[in-house]
Amino acid sequence: MLVCYLTDEPSKIPAIRALLEPHHHVVSGVLGDKVILGSDGVLMVDADLRVMARVEQIKETLSYLKAASEKLFVVQKHLHHMVAQAYALGATSVVRSTREISPKLAQIEAAAKASPATGGTVRSEIVDCARAFASMFSAINHDQSIDLSEAERATARVIAGIERDGLGAWLDDVRRYHEGTFQHCLLVTGIAVGFAIEIGFTDLDIKRLGMSATLHDIGKAKIPLSILDKPDRLNPDEDAIMKRHPAIGHELLKDMPEVSGEILDGVRHHHEYLDGTGYPDGLQAGHISDLVRLLTISDIFAALIESRPYRPPMSRQDAYKILCDMDGKLELPLVKAFRNVALVA
Ligand SMILES: [Fe+2]
Ligand SMILES: [Fe+2]
């Protein structure tokens, strides 16, 4: 595979060449160099995204490398919080250490071979949606207001993608290209939209549930990344912090006039259970709306089938079985209606 490696540190080039050249054809350059790359090559950007001048150079490079469909950003561990920045710049994949580069390239190459028609290209909806999530999360982190039109655009693109290619293709593509919170948000939105289509919602209601799903975990933008991206089980203190995200999300959105009550309800209550054992308000069944019930099922299913660096994704069959065993917490007739979404779509 052709890999075009662009860096702001020329001293890194020999090591990267030594690492990749046994398997790939590497073209290297210093950021700012003019490079040519077709749609079958991978652009790999390894630069300090904290430096504004670098960010501008990357934007310029990407503006004339539109044909490059794969854009892999290397964001070293200490620049963890720059992952969102990478996606905002148009990354299609992000790795956080040199060690992860070869496995990620192998994954990209395998995807290209598996779907020669598209060359394994990341579909534009996924790139756009990840960019919208990145931009909303980063606005919150900088105490700026969220641009809701980004959430609306992202939701509309998910709906269009699923109507065109089906939910199964969406789930596979998202899991192949994304990790962590963005992967989760993209999956939940896709699953919720697929669910709404399956049960015959009107276009307006599909949009409503889709928007709730897009925004449901927005409060996670305020949860420390050390907790959000922790590769192991959270300890009780960390779990308590994580469980604040629905109330935080509600707080972030509640004064925005364009956010409807239904969306706020979804953001605050998607972790409530019918038997009152959920959080943050311990609501009982009578206080949990239909929209929230659909969102909760979509959210749990997405969390179960997510791919994580440290474990393979659970099969859709096994994940659906877990939902069926949650009688009393989830509405069983809705879980039954979800069957086709979980197993067939
Ligand atoms: Fe959540
Ligand atoms: Fe969630």
Which-ligand-closest: CA of 214?
Answer: 2
The pLDDT value given to residue 81: 67
- What one-character-per-residue DSSP string does 189-205 give? HHHHHHHHHHTT--HHH
The pLDDT value recorded for residue 119 is: 46
Q: How far apart are the CA of 265 and the centre of ligand 2, in A?
A: 14
Ligand 2 centre to CA of 148 (Å) is 19
| CA 163 – ligand 1 centroid, Å | 25
Predicted pLDDT of residue 257: 92
3-state helix, strand, coil in the chain (%, to 5): 60, 10, 30
Give the closest ligand to the alpha carbon of residue 300: 2
Nearest ligand for residue 187 CA = 2
Per-residue model confidence as pLDDT tens digits over 88-112:
888 888 888 888 899 889 888 887 7
Ligand number, closest to the Cα atom of 271? 1
User: What SS3 state is found at 308?
Assistant: strand
Q: How far is the CA of 26 from the centre of ligand 1 (A)?
A: 41
Q: How far is the CA of 188 from the centre of ligand 2 (A)?
A: 7
The ligand minimizing its distance to the Cα of 220 is 1
Low-confidence ranges of the chain (pLDDT < 70): 36-40, 66-67, 77-81, 114-122, 177-179, 309-310, 345
Which pLDDT score is estimated for 144?
Answer: 86
> Using CA atoms, how far apart are residues 305 and 303, in angstroms rounded to an integer?
6
Going from the Cα of 39 to the center of ligand 2, the distance in angstroms, rounded, reads 34
Query: 170-173, long-range: CB within 8 Å, 24+ apart, which pairs?
Result: 170/194, 171/305, 173/122, 173/123, 173/126
Identify the pLDDT of residue 120: 47
Ligand number with the minimum distance to the CA of 248: 1
Q: How many helices (H) does the chain have, and how many strands (E)?
A: 17, 5
Ligand 1 centroid to Cα of residue 181, in Å, is 10
The alpha carbon of 106 and the centre of ligand 1 are apart by a number of angstroms equal to: 32
Q: Point out the ligand nearest to the CA of residue 304.
A: 2
Q: What is the set of domains in the chain, with CATH numbers?
A: 2-114 (3.40.50.2300), 124-344 (1.10.3210.10)
> If you search the block for the tokens 């943050």, which residue do you land on?
280
Q: Return contacts of 251-258, CB within 8 angstroms, 24+ apart.
A: 251/219, 252/140, 252/146, 252/218, 252/219, 252/221, 252/222, 253/146, 253/215, 253/218, 256/145, 256/146, 256/148, 258/148
How many A from CA of 56 to the centre of ligand 1? Answer: 34
pLDDT score at 320? 97
DSSP secondary structure, 223-265, as one string: S-HHHHT-SSPPPHHHHHHHTTHHHHHHHHHTT-TTS-HHHHH
Beta-bridged to residue 261, according to DSSP, are: none
pLDDT at 204: 94
For the CA of 269, the nearest ligand: 1
pLDDT at 142: 80
